[in-house]
Chain A
Amino acid sequence: MAAELGLAALWLAAALSVLQLIGGALAQRDTNSDLAKLVRPAAVMQGLLAGFAFLVLLYLFAVTDLSVKLVAANSHSDKPMIFKLAGAWGNHEGSMLLWITVMALAGGLIGFVERRLPEQTMQATLAAQAFVGLGFYAFLLLSSNPFERLPEPAMEGMGLNPLLQDIGLAFHPPTLYFGYVGLSVAFSFAVGALLTRQVNPDFARAMRPWVLGAWIFLTLGITAGSYWAYYELGWGGWWFWDPVENASLMPWLAATALLHSVSVLAARDALRTWTIMLGVVAFSMSMLGTFLVRSGILTSVHAFAADPERGTFILGLLILYIGGALLLFGLRASSISEGDRFSVTSREGALVFNNVMLSAILGIVLLGTLYPLLTEAFDVRVSVGPPYFNPVGAVFTIPMLMVMAVGPLLRWRQDSFTRVKWPIIISAVVMVAVLALVVILGSYSILADLGLAVAVALGIGSFMPLRGRNLLRVPIATWGMVVAHFGIAVALFGMASESAFSEEKLAAISVGESTQVGPWQVTLDAVEPVAGPNWTAIQANLGASYDGGTSIELTPQSRNFWAPPQETTESVLATRWNGQLYAVVGNEAGDGRWQLRLWWKPFVTLIWYGGILVALGGLLALIGRVKTDLKRRYVVKRAGDRRAEAAS
C-alpha cells in the first residue's frame, strides 16, 4: 500500500509541474491570469508531494519491505538501521528520487518566499524549474520507478555493497545532490531572467543564496568524498582524478566562478551576460556529472551502448536543457547590455582573472574526463590521470591563487597596483622564502614545492583585507571571504605537504617484531579474529609510538562481509597535530609474518580541515548576505507602510 501511495504522490507532483510550466509560460503574456496565479501554489504543492514520496521510500527501506524490487535489490534485514535508510538513496532509482525531491522542495521554497523579483520573472523562473523537473519526473516514472513491486516478495534482500556501508559515504551522495540541485535553481533564475531580460543586481541578490548554498554543499561533498576514499580504499590516496570525482569537481569549479561573478553583478551591475552564461554552465556540469555517474558510461562506453536506456534518457535531457538554454542565451544575450565598465586593476578585474582561470581549469578537467570516453568510442583506449591533470591544471591554478592573495585588497571599479605595493612585495618575499626552505628540507618536486610556497603566501594574504579595520565591524560576508580563502590555502598546504613529505613502509613482520616509518615505531603485538554484525575479520593489534613517546594501540582489520560477499580493508589512522600515521593489515605472508602497510603523512589532515574552512566561509557569507537582504526587505516594507499611512 505504502509503495503505491508514494508512486501516486510522484505522479501528482509530475502533473503539478505540468501546471506550473503552462501557468508560467502563459504568465509571459498576462502575469495576472488565473493560471499564472497558480504557479506559486503549484510549486509549493509539488515540493510537498515529492517530499512525501521520498519519505515513503525511506519508510519502505526502514521496514525492509521485500515486496518492493528496489528494497530487495539493495537492502538486507540484518543491516544496521542507519544503512537501511542510507540504502534508500545508495542506488540509481532512489538517488534520482532524492534529486527530484530536493529540486521540488527548492522550487517550493522559492515559490513561497522569493518576492524581490518582478512577478513575471519569478513565474518564468518557476516555469523553467518545472520544465527541468518534468524531465526528471519522466525519467523516474517511465524508466526508473523506485516503487516497483516484485511479482513475488523476495525471501531476503541482496544487501548493500560493504564499501558503501560507511557513515561518511551514507551522507556523501545527498550532500552532492543538494549542491547539484542548488545549481538547478540558479539555472532556473538565469533562464527566467533571460526570458524577461531582467538581468540586474536584484536578480543577482535573489540568485546568490542558492549559488552559495549549492557551493557549500558541493565543497562539503567533495571534502567528505575525498576523506572517504582516503581511509576506506586503504592505500592512502585522497584524490585519484577518477571521472566520478571529476564529475563532482566540475560543478564546484563552475559554481566557484559563478559565485564570484554573481557578487560582481550584485555589487556593481557588471558582468551580466557572463553571469548568466556561468549559471547555464554550472548546471550543465551538474547534469553532465549525473550523466557520467548514472549512465554506466564510465565502466565502458560499450557497456553503455549495450544497455542504453537510462543513459540515453539522461543524455537526451542534458542536450534538451543545455542546448535549449544555450539557444535562448544566444538569442537574448545581444539584447542584454554588458553592464558597468571597470579598469583591469580593480576588484572586478581580479575577479575576471579568477573567472577566466577557473573556466580554463574547468575546461581541462572536462577535456581530461571526456577525452578517454571519446577515443574509446573509436576503439582507442587511452588513460588520462594525475601525471596529466596535476601539471596542466597547475599552469592555471598557481597564477590564479597568486592573484587571489592580493585581489581582495583592490578597490571596486578603479585602483592602482602602487596602492597595494606592499602586500604584493610581502607575498612575493614569503613565497621565495618558503620555496628556499622546502628545497633545503629536501623536497625536489616542483609542483609540491610551488604548492607549499603559494599556500603560505595565500594564507597570509587571505587575512590582509582585515588589516587596519575594526574586526567587530567587519561585515559577516567579508569574514566569510577571508575564512574561505584561508581554507583554500590550508587545503593546498595539506595537499602539497602530503605529496612532498609522505613516507611509505611496506613490511612483513611476525608478532613481537617492529618496524619504522618516518618518526613512528610500530610493533605488531598480536593478530586475532573478530566478528561484527555482518562481517568477520582478521585484526592486527599494533602499538605505535611517535619519536620514542608512549605507545598507542591501533587495530587495523581485514574484513570479510557475507551479504554480498566481499573483502575490505579497514585502515586505522593515528592523528597528531602535524600529520597522520596510516596503517593497514594485509595477508599472512605464509611463514607466520603479516603484511603491514604504513604511511606517515605530514599535515595531510589540513586537506580536509581546509575544505571544512572553505565551506564554513561559504556559510558565513550566506548568513551575512541573507541578513542584509532581510534588513533591506524590512526597510522597504517600513517605507511602504509609512507611505500608506501618509496616504490615508
Chain B
Amino acid sequence: MMRFILAILSAALIVMPASAQQTLPPAPLAYEQLSDPAQEEAAQALMETLRCLKCQSQSIADSDAPMAGDMRHQVRSRIAAGEEPEAIRAWLVERYGDYVSYAPTVSNTTWPLFAIPLLLLIVAGVIIRRRVGKRS
C-alpha cells in the first residue's frame, strides 16, 4: 500500500513541472511560418537537421517539446533577420555542442564516420573487381 502511494506521489511529481511549463505561451515563431516562402524553406531545411535536446531522436522540426519550439523560434527569427543557415548552426553548436547538429562535419572526433564508408566503398570495389578478374 505504502509503495503504491509512493508511486502515485512520484508520478505526480514527475508530471508537475511539465504542466507548469505549459502555462507559458510558446515563442511566437515556434508554430508560425515565415511569410517569405524561400526563407521558410531554408529555415525548415535547417530545423530538420537540428536535434531536439529534450527528446529522443527527433529533430526540432518534429517535436512538441517547449524547448524545440524555442529553438524553432530562434531559427526562424534569425533566418528572417538575414543570417546564413550555417552561421545559425554554428551558433547553436557553440551553445549546445556538436550534439545539437544531426549533420556531422569532419572533425577529429567524427572522421571515422566518413573514413569507414570510403573504406567500404573500396572493399566493395575490390570484391567486385576480383570477380571480374576471375572471368578473364
Q: Which residues of B contact A353 (CB under 8 A)?
A: 128
Task: Choose from B1, B103, B134 the contact partner of A388 (Cβ within 8 Å).
Answer: B103
The smallest C-beta distance from B109 to any residue of chain A, in angstroms, reads 5
1/0 per residue, CB under 8 A from A, across B84-97: the answer is 00000000000001
Residue A221 is within 8 A (CB to CB) of chain B in the complex? no
1/0 per residue, CB under 8 A from B, across A377-394: the answer is 000111111111000100
The smallest C-beta distance from B126 to any residue of chain A, in angstroms, reads 10
1/0 per residue, CB under 8 A from A, across B15-36: the answer is 1000000000110000111000
The smallest C-beta distance from B61 to any residue of chain A, in angstroms, reads 7
1/0 per residue, CB under 8 A from B, across A483-523: the answer is 00000000000000000000011101000000000000000
Nearest residue in B to A596 (C-beta to C-beta)?
B31
Residue A611 is within 8 A (CB to CB) of chain B in the complex? no
A-B contact pairs, 28 of them (CB 8 A): A233-B58, A233-B62, A235-B61, A242-B56, A243-B57, A343-B135, A344-B128, A344-B134, A356-B124, A360-B117, A360-B123, A367-B116, A371-B112, A381-B99, A382-B104, A383-B98, A383-B104, A385-B103, A386-B48, A386-B59, A386-B102, A387-B102, A387-B103, A388-B113, A392-B117, A395-B117, A396-B120, A506-B31
Residue B49 is within 8 A (CB to CB) of chain A in the complex? yes
Task: Report yes or no: A586 in contact with B62, Cβ–Cβ below 8 A.
Answer: no
Residue B121 is within 8 A (CB to CB) of chain A in the complex? yes
Q: Which residues of B contact A505 (CB under 8 A)?
A: 33
Task: Choose from B3, B31, B109, B120 the contact partner of A364 (Cβ within 8 Å).
Answer: B120
Task: Report yes or no: B26 in contact with A381, Cβ–Cβ below 8 A.
Answer: no
Nearest residue in A to B59 (C-beta to C-beta)?
A385
Q: Which residues in A have some Cβ–Cβ distance to B below 8 Å?
A: 152, 154-156, 158, 233-237, 240-244, 298-299, 341, 343-345, 349, 352-353, 356-357, 359-360, 363-364, 367-368, 371, 375, 380-388, 392, 395-396, 504-506, 508, 564-565, 569, 586-587, 589-590, 595, 597
The smallest C-beta distance from A345 to any residue of chain B, in angstroms, reads 8
Please judge, given known A-B contacts A356-B128, A382-B104, A595-B31, whether A387 and B49 are in contact too, CB under 8 Å.
yes
Task: Report yes or no: B32 in contact with A155, Cβ–Cβ below 8 A.
Answer: no
Nearest residue in B to A298 (C-beta to C-beta)?
B56
Q: Which residues of A contact B116 (CB under 8 A)?
A: 363-364, 367
Task: Report yes or no: B135 in contact with A385, Cβ–Cβ below 8 A.
Answer: no
Task: Report yes or no: A382 in contact with B32, Cβ–Cβ below 8 A.
Answer: no
Task: Report yes or no: A508 in contact with B31, Cβ–Cβ below 8 A.
Answer: yes
Nearest residue in A to B7 (C-beta to C-beta)?
A158
Task: Report yes or no: B31 in contact with A586, Cβ–Cβ below 8 A.
Answer: yes
Residue B38 is within 8 A (CB to CB) of chain A in the complex? no
Task: Report yes or no: A237 in contact with B62, Cβ–Cβ below 8 A.
Answer: yes
A625–B54 Cα gap in the complex (Å)?
49
A381–B53 Cα gap in the complex (Å)?
12
Q: Which residues of B contact A154 (CB under 8 A)?
A: 3-4
Nearest residue in B to A363 (C-beta to C-beta)?
B120
A451–B39 Cα gap in the complex (Å)?
26
Q: Which residues of A contact B15 (CB under 8 A)?
A: 565
Q: Which residues of B contact A298 (CB under 8 A)?
A: 56
The smallest C-beta distance from B130 to any residue of chain A, in angstroms, reads 10
The smallest C-beta distance from A173 to any residue of chain B, in angstroms, reads 17
Task: Report yes or no: B100 in contact with A383, Cβ–Cβ below 8 A.
Answer: yes
8 interchain residue pairs of minimum CB distance: A385-B102, A235-B62, A387-B103, A242-B57, A381-B99, A360-B120, A344-B131, A237-B62
Task: Choose from B3, B26, B113, B127 the contact partner of A384 (Cβ within 8 Å).
Answer: B113
Task: Report yes or no: B48 in contact with A360, Cβ–Cβ below 8 A.
Answer: no
Number of A-B contacts (CB under 8 A): 135
Task: Choose from B56, B109, B131 the contact partner of A352 (Cβ within 8 Å).
Answer: B131
Q: Which residues in B have some Cβ–Cβ distance to A below 8 Å?
A: 1, 3-4, 7, 11, 15, 25-26, 31-33, 44, 48-49, 51, 56-59, 61-64, 97-104, 109-110, 112-113, 116-117, 120-121, 123-124, 127-128, 131-132, 134-135
Q: Which residues of B contact A590 (CB under 8 A)?
A: 25
The smallest C-beta distance from A8 to any residue of chain B, in angstroms, reads 27
Task: Report yes or no: B104 in contact with A384, Cβ–Cβ below 8 A.
Answer: yes
Nearest residue in A to B2 (C-beta to C-beta)?
A152
Further pairs besides A158-B7, A506-B33: 15, Cβ < 8 Å: A235-B61, A240-B59, A244-B57, A298-B56, A341-B134, A344-B135, A353-B128, A367-B113, A371-B112, A375-B109, A382-B109, A382-B110, A385-B51, A387-B104, A597-B31
Task: Report yes or no: A388 in contact with B120, Cβ–Cβ below 8 A.
Answer: no
Task: Report yes or no: A357 in contact with B124, Cβ–Cβ below 8 A.
Answer: yes
Q: Which residues of B contact A381 (CB under 8 A)?
A: 97-99
Task: Report yes or no: B48 in contact with A382, Cβ–Cβ below 8 A.
Answer: no
Task: Choose from A243, A387, A508 the contact partner of B32 (Cβ within 8 Å).
Answer: A508
Nearest residue in A to B40 (C-beta to C-beta)?
A504
A367–B110 Cα gap in the complex (Å)?
11
Task: Report yes or no: A360 in contact with B113, Cβ–Cβ below 8 A.
Answer: no
Q: Which residues of A contact B57 (CB under 8 A)?
A: 240-244, 385
Nearest residue in A to B51 (C-beta to C-beta)?
A383
Please judge, given known A-B contacts A360-B121, A367-B113, whether A383 and B102 are in contact too, CB under 8 Å.
yes
A569–B1 Cα gap in the complex (Å)?
34
Please judge, given known A-B contacts A385-B59, A506-B32, whether A155 and B1 are in contact too, CB under 8 Å.
yes
Task: Report yes or no: A395 in contact with B121, Cβ–Cβ below 8 A.
Answer: yes
The smallest C-beta distance from B79 to any residue of chain A, in angstroms, reads 15
Please judge, given known A-B contacts A234-B64, A360-B120, A363-B120, whether A380 and B131 are in contact too, CB under 8 Å.
no
The smallest C-beta distance from A599 to any residue of chain B, in angstroms, reads 11
A95–B17 Cα gap in the complex (Å)?
32
Task: Report yes or no: B11 in contact with A564, Cβ–Cβ below 8 A.
Answer: yes
Nearest residue in A to B29 (C-beta to C-beta)?
A506
Task: Report yes or no: A240 in contact with B4, Cβ–Cβ below 8 A.
Answer: no
Q: Which residues of A contact B135 (CB under 8 A)?
A: 343-345
Task: Choose from B1, B33, B97, B109 the contact partner of A152 (Cβ within 8 Å).
Answer: B1
Q: Which residues of B contact A368 (CB under 8 A)?
A: 113
Q: Which residues of A contact B121 (CB under 8 A)?
A: 360, 395-396
